[in-house]
Amino acid sequence: MKIEEQKAEAVVAIKSAGISEPCNLEEQALMLIGKDIYEALIRGYAEKQWGRKCTELPAYIIKRLPVRFVHDNNYFNDKYQGIPLVAIISWLRVC
């Protein structure tokens, strides 16, 4: 199933349960990234990191991560990112 279909399915399930906003990390993640990516990348890591089930964690935790469906691996959308070349060169000279 495609991501968009999974996201739509999650929204319908949450709304049909009478929930207007995601109440926990699992609901929020399913709405943001779909079931496949959530189960493959998020659920196990989050539960190990926080020591609690994703259904017990607040939704805002997953909202902090940028979600993109493009091949841009930059963390921020800033025009310039990274360490200036001059800083790297001077750091290497010190080492």
Residue 7 near residue 30, CB atoms below 8 Å: yes
Angular region, 11: left φ>0, alpha ψ -120 to 50, beta rest: alpha
Tell which residue, 50, 49, 54, has the closest CA to residue 38: 54
Q: Are 49 and 55 in contact (CB under 8 A)?
A: no
Q: Which has the minimum average pLDDT: 1-15, 62-76, 81-95?
A: 81-95
pLDDT at residue 42, rounded to an integer:
93
Tokens standing for 88? 């790297």
The per-residue DSSP string of 21-44 comes to S--SHHHHHHHHHHHHHIIIIIHH
Q: What is the pLDDT of residue 65?
A: 79
Per-residue pLDDT tens digits for 27-86 = 999 888 888 889 999 999 999 999 999 999 999 998 887 777 677 777 677 777 776 667
Encode burial over 73-85: b for 16+ CB neighbours within 10 A, e otherwise: eeeeeeeeeeeee
